[in-house]
Chains A and B, each alone.
Chain A
Amino acid sequence: MSNLQANKISKIFKDNKAFIAFLTAGDPSLDKTEEFILAIEKAGADLVEIGIPFSDPIAEGPVIQEANERALSVGTTTDKIFMMVRRVRQKTAIPLVFLTYINPIFVYGIDRFFKACQESGINGIIIPDLPFEEKGEVLDVAKTYGVDVITLIAPTSKDRIQTLAKEATGFIYLVSSMGVTGVRSEIKTDLKSMIDDIRQVSDTPVAVGFGISDPDQAKAIAKIANGVIVGSAIVKIIAEYGDNASDSLYNYVKSMKKAIS
């Protein structure tokens, strides 16, 4: 069976509030990751972020750190993840974006990595420890292979917001809160004014992530942004139900998508 042509990232934001789901590849196994991605898609997710586990994920809170450890402990490697993505790509056209740290990419070989992204049908990549100043490390190669390097904008970005937004492609990942990933009861950042700043220089869709877990939060954010990103809440479901998480994931994603629609 041949790969399906991946849908473009921009398409999911057209007249639609996008729901973006994150999970860690290989947690609890790559076969299950494949199954979960399809369940999440069926529930209405518009894009799936696939985490390539890293030994030292400095931007992650305990929930995703533990998912990284579980995935690595069962022997998950970058090569095996690419094979899993190829299998997924035969079954769905949903945009897929990797999230990983710069070291696994750099050590794999930047050209080899992005070439494999293109071949397996990956649309974009999020690299939390690659700021604007160091983007040159991957940008040209990623472009050559048609992979968007997603721009992250943080509550502390302030005077940098417009510089960052101007060069953004795919979508902008707006970090809702200070600190690491993880569920939060309240988001205090003035996201509206940050999005206004972005809009002065860029039409690139803005999706908000970090700390979002329940439908009410998602609904509020969808009013001002183009999409909502949920990671830790999904990884928590996988941690709780393990191999049998598909139904719970389906129900959760469905309720979140409904809340923002």
Chain B
Amino acid sequence: MSKGKYGVHGGQYIPETLMNAIIELEAAYEHYKNDKDFQDELTELLNEYAGRPSRLYYAKKMTEDLGGAKIYLKREDLNHTGSHKINNVLGQALLAKKMGKTRLIAETGAGQHGVATATAAALMGFECEIFMGKEDTDRQALNVFRMELLGARVHVVTSGTMTLKDAVNETMREWTKRVEDTHYVLGSVMGPHPFPEMVRDFQSVISKEARQQILEKEGKLPNVVIACVGGGSNAMGAFYNFIPDKEVKLIGCEAAGKGVDTALTAATIAKGSLGIFHGMKSYFCQDEFGQIAPVYSISAGLDYPGIGPEHANLHDTKRAEYVAITDDEAVNAFEYLSKTEGIIPAIESAHAIAYAMVLAPKMKKDEIIIVNVSGRGDKDVAAIARYKGENIYE
């Protein structure tokens, strides 16, 4: 029986070698998700170690400058390790500990998930190995050293397109080699069940807080929630507790790269078709024979040819809308938020900021937008400088 379905999407399409590990993980998660001690321990870690709850900040200058809807920024960039990734990683690492695992492995794109995993491994005493595409170790060199500083071993992946998708391939291969003592900390709401559900649950703290915070500040729900989408974990976390609030519009921003009409894009909803890859049925950028397409985005974290199955279903059911943001728009938003609010967002998050800049002026002044600032942009400064033609290296 196929498990973990979101409409037609989801499932568990993985080699037999991994099936018992996945079944074991599923059973452990089913048990601990309702275990009060586990949840208390996780909340303690999130609050005392990661610095939650994250602020819901009213971006007054941005709001006034754009002249439309009130803009609130959910500040996941202020979390320990600088992004939302820590929410999921602390949850999975704690679960792995309860399961008696001693080693964590993970893929990473921009390096944020790798850094978060290496951090949790250091904190909780796991051996840790991170897989990162060569393309990304080049553009995010500082994060590689950061992971090593935290005690992790970083493997440079040179197969395929040498980006996030290939890092996932390599981490899956590594898991089939050594599964007994090892937990794969998947970084997004993707992969085989139970990962999409589990990662979403761990990230849903974002919308749980944001919903409460906006009600306290404004006494009403937002009109729109915007988040960037690669695999889709920060967006799923930002959307989840608003899904039953039908009046709240949910918008995911994909990476259009050089444009959805070019080959240099990673906009899965705009350009992809139904397929089965990385353990799940969902939408993927691929050719007519099911070969996964090389994708491109300035943002290493959104440079992925698929999207999580729950997003695919939110798209099918029209509960969420997905728009594509180009490199140029994202870089413009990156600079805009830095200059306007003194907040340097991750280039991933800048995709969400960019759409807020399009949308806010068209909305009424008493309407509200929440933008999830999924991470901070320190890691991107040198790359953005190079994009602007400056010869700066880390």
Contacts and interface: CB of A to CB of B under 8 A. Distances in A.
A100 to B, nearest CB: 9
Interface residues of A, number: 43
Interface in B273-289: 273-279, 284, 286, 288-289
A105 interface: yes
Nearest to B293: A55
The prevalent SS among residues of B at the interface is mixed
Contact of B17 (A69, A130, A156): A156
Contacts of B274: 106-107
A157 B19 contact: yes
B98 interface: no
Contact of B16 (A56, A154, A180): A154
A108 B18 CA distance: 26
Contacts of B177: 178-180
A215 interface: no
A105 B290 contact: yes
Given A102-B276, A103-B277, A178-B176, A58 B169 contact: yes
Interface in A25-84: 54-56, 58-59, 61-62, 65, 69, 72, 77-79
How extensive is the interface on chain B, given as a class? 35 or more
Contacts of A104: 289-291
Contact of A131 (B13, B277, B286): B13
Interface stretch (A7-15, A132-140, A222-230, A235-243): A132-140
A58 B292 contact: no
A132 B11 CA distance: 12
A164 interface: yes
B276 A106 contact: yes
Contact of A130 (B13, B160, B178, B278): B13
Interface string B34-59: 00000000000000000000000000
B14 interface: yes
Contacts of A77: 289
A59 B169 CA distance: 9
B72 to A, nearest CB: 39
Contact of A103 (B1, B17, B21, B290): B290
Interface of A: 54-56, 58-59, 61-62, 65, 69, 72, 77-79, 102-108, 128-134, 136-137, 152-160, 164, 175, 178-180
